[in-house]
Structure 1
Amino acid sequence: MECIGTGSDVECVVPLTDRESKVVGKFAGRAMKTSGWSGDMASSSDRGQTILDNKNNPEGVVQVSVIDMVLETLLLISPFFFWGTAMVAMKGVLPKAGPLFVASFRLIPAGTLLIAFASSRGRKMPVGTSAWLAIALFGLIDASCFQGFLTEGLRKTSAGLGSVIIDSQPLTVAVLAALLFGETLGPIAISGLGLGIVGLILLEVHSVMVLGKSAEVGQWTLWDSGEWWMLLAAQSMAVGTVMVRWVCQYSDPIMATGWHMVLGGLPLLALSVWQQDPALSGHIQDLNINDWGALFYSSLFGSAISYGVFFYNATRGSLTKLSSLTFLTPMFATLFGYLVLDEMLSGVQLAGAVVTLVGIYMVNLKVGSETQDKVD
């Protein structure tokens, strides 16, 4: 295992055996047909359309069919699609189920599936106090805090706007990487950070203006802002991203991901019981089949499968290309928020979202280029 890069570039590259590559590839393929690393869809034996003729093609150029290219593109963007649409699914079921119940439901089943999958592939369980302590702290920050803040924020802001703020975490990661790992920030990254901050300010100023007008004088606080909760979620995710390097020193990264979901989901479930979320206070019968479908979608596709495909992509191809696609998540969230929930962004919100996404892209472009240089 080799850990490289920071931020939305996956730090830990996990080598897969041929058998694991085939299984994960088929697992991801099924996920797309039924619809929290670029790569080949499956092993060469599964790619009937890929032609490599050493005699007629002495330079070793691989010719890939259009179908293969489309499938690989779908596989590449599928985690971002699942993450974006999961935000919409969670938003729709929050009033009936309660935010902390939704957060715990997204984590615990997904983490259990990842642990079972990793075990079936022969991945080692965490061993020792250091490993479990690292995973527990990782779970507290990257799972409990992140999902708790996220679901609370979704109650008070749109799925698309919330996703933009959540995906601003590479801005914080870039700063943390410079402070903790001594990574330099060039002109492009610094400009991207500046743009990202301006965009987030535009988003938050709009929230303050709207809530300030609708609330009684003196009664509005920052905690009434969904954008503020989303910003806290983004910072939790950023710290969790930086922690990955440390956690992977003690545990297999796939096992650590699964266990951090389970351990991080348990406090959220306990808090859900304590604050009597509707789903756990005698109103679970109010959830219809669509609500349960949204819950299972956000857990199965929005967590377990999306993380599995993301891991698979990261081990098989370009981390630079993968990290540059971060901006797709809020685009999918905004599109499906409009189609499913009739959500719309105001002019100020749209301007803030665009500026933030441009800033995120610039930071990812810088980080991705450095990471690719290290790989080469």
Structure 2
Amino acid sequence: MPRTEAHLTNDSNRKIKGVTFAVVGAIFWGASGIFTQTLFTNSGVKPLWLVGIRLFFAGLLLVLWSAVRDPHSFLALWKNRRDAGLMILFAFFGMVPSQLTYFLAINAGNAATATILQFLGPVFILLYMALTTRQMPRRIDFISITLALIGTYLLVTRGHLTSLQLAPAAIFWGIMAGVSQALYTLLPRTLLAKYDARAVTGWSMLLGSLPFLPQYVLHPNPMLTLPDLGAIGFVVIFGTMLAYLLVLGSLNYISPVATGMLSAFEPLTATTLAVTRLHIAFGPAEWLGGILIVLNTLLQALPIKKIQSLQKRLIHQLLQKSKT
């Protein structure tokens, strides 16, 4: 049965809505890194304190959201001993490391490089899958890993190929942010298949905030100004809760592949704001390195058939040119 104009318009509107959700969510994530760096640099806020605040309040908001949307199931995972154990594992070995390493990378370097290095996560997922399945990575995987390694090298050397131009601590925590991002992606797969994603993420954040309790109870932060409180509010509400809900909501309208590719707006936002607002020096080598690292993520998001089709099209075009 042929599709009517109304159906086509509806599909188009759904795609626009999905793309908008994914892009805005990624922009919120990228912008929150800039607010975080400002708090560290100008307000004396400590990374451990801010991580605890972010996890607690964002987790609380997500759990409450889940309770309102589905009051009968937001506690369901705690009724299964195995799933409760997986939740605790995810909270302390997935959620906490992903948040902490990212903030420590910003504190040791800057938001732009920390956000870009966090995008090394797919490389570590590839390596993990290769080891656990005992299968060699695909050709596209080798290309992705190579691009990521070259990009990282350019980013940390800033084009001075014989010496590091980024602080060793910033490099270490940035790479650890990539490792943590891989753990954050791999650990909750079973839970997300059974329970509301808001509940899984919210509970993991609330649990993850517990180790930081002494930081924001026994060692409160110095007097914060109204702009500081606004920045913290942005990190918690826009850069965590709303960003997550928007990206999650985009999956109702567009494919995970499209959402994954649009996540490139996160490092683009962080880098652009770092250069324009914080006046961080970011030369051609850093831009190229960042592009290569993000490109590795985009290659993994593309279906392999589309890549092969693109390769065939390029080969065909080259053959046509050679005949003329």
TM-score with structure 1 length normalisation? 0.71
Whether 2:39 is the aligned partner of 1:89: answer no
2:165 to 195, 200, 210: 210
Whether 2:57 is the aligned partner of 1:120: answer no
**339-348 or 147-156, which deviates more:** 339-348
Percent of aligned pairs with the same amino acid: 19
Distance 1:69 1:364, change over 3 A: closer
Q: Is the contact between residue 144 and residue 264 of structure 1 (CA under 8 Å) also seen in structure 2?
A: yes
Which structure has the highest helix share of the two?
2
The residue number in structure 1 matching 2:311 is none
Q: Deviations 1:343-362 (Å, cap 9, x if unpaired)?
A: 22134322321221222222
Give the number of aligned pairs. Answer: 298
How far did residue 109 of structure 1 move? Answer: 0.7
Whether 2:264 is the aligned partner of 1:333: answer no
Alpha-carbon distance between aligned partners in 2 of 1:245 and 1:179, rounded to the nearest angstrom: 18
Q: Is the contact between residue 110 and residue 258 of structure 1 (CA under 8 Å) also seen in structure 2?
A: yes
Alpha-carbon distance between aligned partners in 2 of 1:368 and 1:243, rounded to the nearest angstrom: 28
The RMSD of aligned alpha carbons is 3.0
Whether 2:192 is the aligned partner of 1:248: answer yes
Alpha-carbon distance between aligned partners in 2 of 1:62 and 1:273, rounded to the nearest angstrom: 55
Alpha-carbon distance between aligned partners in 1 of 2:304 and 2:266, rounded to the nearest angstrom: 19
Q: Is the contact between residue 109 and residue 166 of structure 2 (CA under 8 Å) also seen in structure 1?
A: no
**312-321 or 98-107, which deviates more:** 312-321
Amino acid in structure 1 at the alignment position of 2:207? L
Secondary structure of 1:315's aligned partner: coil
Amino acid in structure 1 at the alignment position of 2:199? M
Secondary structure of 1:63's aligned partner: helix
The residue number in structure 2 matching 1:98 is 46
Alpha-carbon distance between aligned partners in 2 of 1:192 and 1:143, rounded to the nearest angstrom: 25
2:207 to 263, 272, 281: 263
Alpha-carbon distance between aligned partners in 1 of 2:14 and 2:81, rounded to the nearest angstrom: 45
TM-score with structure 2 length normalisation? 0.81
Distance 1:347 1:245, change over 3 A: same
Q: Deviations 1:316-353 (Å, cap 9, x if unpaired)?
A: 43111111122221001111122321122134322321
Uncovered stretches (5+) of structure 1, i.e. residues with no partner: 1-53, 213-221, 371-376
The residue number in structure 2 matching 1:159 is 111
Distance 1:270 1:135, change over 3 A: farther
The residue number in structure 2 matching 1:134 is 86
Q: How does 1:1-376 map to 2 (within 5 A)?
A: 58=4, 61-64=7-10, 71-95=17-41, 96-122=44-70, 123-125=73-75, 126=77, 127-180=79-132, 185-206=137-158, 209-210=164-165, 222=168, 225-248=169-192, 251-271=195-215, 276=219, 280=220, 283=222, 285=223, 287-366=224-303
Distance 1:138 1:368, change over 3 A: farther
